[in-house]
Chains A and B, each alone.
Chain A
């Protein structure tokens, strides 16, 4: 299947039900805007997207706003930093990394990513998750 030319492959990850082999892409235009105007750390943090879609702790469906009813949120307590492969420490203790995606042509298109405080009672989940999403579609066991 032809992939839109403005999308860059991220790699394979899990589909909303947790099945491996789903293809993920990211919008080139969005990356270019962030590369040009920043914040610089936002572009740098994109290195964690692959772990989020490949090894999430939880996947949520429905962002509770118009036009995003079927969008997805992948949540992960990031375990390693691709820029510091020797480090054993969590890159950002107490926070989870969220990746937002929606179904596109040939796979899922990532449209945002950010850190959020971790729910102390649910490791790998963002604070407020029961109220912020329509449902949790998959949980790592």
Chain B
């Protein structure tokens, strides 16, 4: 067991890259990186942050925020997620529907094209607080 973060980083080198979405309960968000390029973040709105490659400014991933809140709201409208995994397209649909300007809509459209079929393992959501 690592004694601190410094020791953890020294003793746990990265194992590689797998382009799959993951849910992080502490911050109630999902990240999905589909390209393994060093990137910076650009906040789109309350729901979405995108990651753009430092070298090219190309879209390499995204962070979907407020996941439990969105799923709860979906449930209130009768959208059931009882069976199977959660497609990220659901979150892009919700975000795009409340997007206020053309730049926001453009980002959601980009993600719709590259990531709508990516699925989040529903078991990860069960770790939520």
Q: Is the CB of A66 within 8 A of B17?
A: no
Q: Is the CB of A67 within 8 A of B17?
A: no
Q: Is the CB of B4 within 8 A of A8?
A: yes
Q: Chain A residue with minimal CB distance to B22?
A: A33
Which residues of chain A are near B27, meaning CB under 8 Å? 68, 71, 100, 102, 111-112
> Is B78 among interface residues, defined by CB-CB distance under 8 A?
no
Q: Is the CB of B66 within 8 A of A65?
A: yes
Which residues of chain A are near B20, meaning CB under 8 Å? 37
Of B12, B26, B46, B51, the residue contacting A27 (CB under 8 A) is B26
B127–chain A nearest beta-carbon distance, Å:
8
Q: Is the CB of B46 within 8 A of A38?
A: no
Which residues of chain A are near B63, meaning CB under 8 Å? 112
Q: Is the CB of A10 within 8 A of B4?
A: yes
B residues neighboring A (CB under 8 Å):
2-6, 8-9, 12-18, 20, 22, 24, 26-29, 33, 36-43, 46-47, 49, 51, 54, 61, 63, 65-66, 68-69, 127
